[in-house]
Amino acid sequence: MELTLTEAQYNLVYNSFSFVIASMGAALLFFLLVRSRVAPQHRMAITLSTLVVGIALYHYVRVFGSWEDAFSYVGGEYVQDGKPFNEGYRYVDWLLTVPLLLAELVVVLKLTKGKTRSLIVRLTIAAVAMIALGYPGEIAAADSSARTVWGVLSTIPFLYILYVLFVELGKSLERQSGSVKKLVDGLRYIILATWGIYPIAYMLPSLIDDEANAEVARQVMYSIGDVLAKPLFGLLVLGIALAKSREDGYVEPGGQPNSAAAPDDASELLEA
Ligand SMILES: *C/C=C(C)/C=C/C=C(C)/C=C/C1=C(C)CCCC1(C)C
């Protein structure tokens, strides 16, 4: 059956994609511009944020084009009679960006090399499994049980990721300084709240009877999730990297010595 959307429904999705493209583009520029304010030893997290929003920017440009190509405007309505809308762009995007986002959270903690490696390897494997298992369900018919089955399978690695973040990382968190600890703790809850949007959006076609409404709600929810989970998350990580840079007494080249810098560091810099 061909999906038919009202002008308002079609435009809501169209404008959401447009909003995401603008957000990713602005975040990309911003992360590049503020890079020098972060101490070199904390820049890896900013590099990862920059990659994430860059990859998402590219994919949203493609998603946007695919949405335009899928519909034609006939008699005041949008009829899906063009090329199939390519849901795959989202999943390819997640395959790249979700492991990078998890790595970002781990590297900003500055744990031992061995611990960092082990966390990144396990989180990456779980993230790839979660996304690969979700995809067959995403492209299955709305009313098929395949959607539920793949969704449940994909939730297993998702729960493992949450276990690592909340139970395993909890121990490492004890060793962080007060302000950083609070920020990292907040970051985990942001992940829980924003990543939780995805499985809900995924289930919408099974929950909402009206096919057009379900499709629009799903696309808009994924778009909101992506803006929160990528640019907003990147800003919070930037906050942590800046706090850590300040604690280390870092002064941006050509910048003013920071009042929070240790006196020793400041005098060293003045002598230099
Ligand atoms: C930037 C993109 C992000 C952070 C994407 C995150 C995606 C998820 C957490 C997806 C999870 C899913 C389930 C837990 C079950 C149903 C299938 C998925 C893939 C939507």
The residue contributing the CA closest to ligand 1 atom 9 is 195
Measured between alpha carbons, how far is 195 from 228 in angstroms, rounded to an integer?
9
If you ran DSSP here, which 8-state letter would residue 41 be given? Answer: G
91, part of any domain = yes
The residue contributing the CA closest to ligand 1 atom 13 is 199
Percent of the chain residues past pLDDT 70, beyond the cut: 93
The residue contributing the CA closest to ligand 1 atom 1 is 226
113, part of any domain = yes
Angle at 255 between CA 254 and CA 261, to 5 degrees: 130
Number of domains in the chain: 1
Instruction: Quick: pLDDT tens for 17-32.
Output: 999 999 999 999 999 9
269, part of any domain = no
Average confidence (pLDDT) over 132-158? 93
- 229 Cβ inside 6 Å of ligand 1: yes
pLDDT of residue 55: 98
Which CATH number is 38's domain given? 1.20.1070.10
CA-nearest of 112, 236, 119, 105 to 168 is 119
- 157 Cβ inside 6 Å of ligand 1: no
Mean confidence (pLDDT) of the chain: 91
Ligand 1 atom closest to Cα of 151?
16
Measured between alpha carbons, how far is 253 from 37 in angstroms, rounded to an integer?
8
Quick check: 268 pLDDT over 80? no
- 97 Cβ inside 6 Å of ligand 1: yes
137, part of any domain = yes
Confidence at 272, pLDDT banded by 50, 70, 90: very low
270, part of any domain = no
Average confidence (pLDDT) over 34-40? 95
pLDDT of residue 257: 61
Q: Which tokens in the block code for residue 231?
A: 């640019």
272, part of any domain = no
pLDDT of residue 270: 52
Measured between alpha carbons, how far is 38 from 179 in angstroms, rounded to an integer?
16
- 202 Cβ inside 6 Å of ligand 1: yes
83, part of any domain = yes
Ligand 1 atom closest to Cα of 157?
14
Q: Mark residue 84 as left, alpha or beta (left: phi above 0; alpha: psi -120 to 50; beta: remaining).
A: beta
**Where does 35-87 have alpha helices with state H?**
43-70
Quick check: 259 pLDDT over 70? no
- 261 Cβ inside 6 Å of ligand 1: no
Which residues span the domain enclosing 50? 4-262
271, part of any domain = no
Percent of the chain residues past pLDDT 90, beyond the cut: 76
Q: How far is the centre of ligand 1, averaged over its atoms, from the C-alpha of 194 (Å)?
A: 10
SS3 6: strand
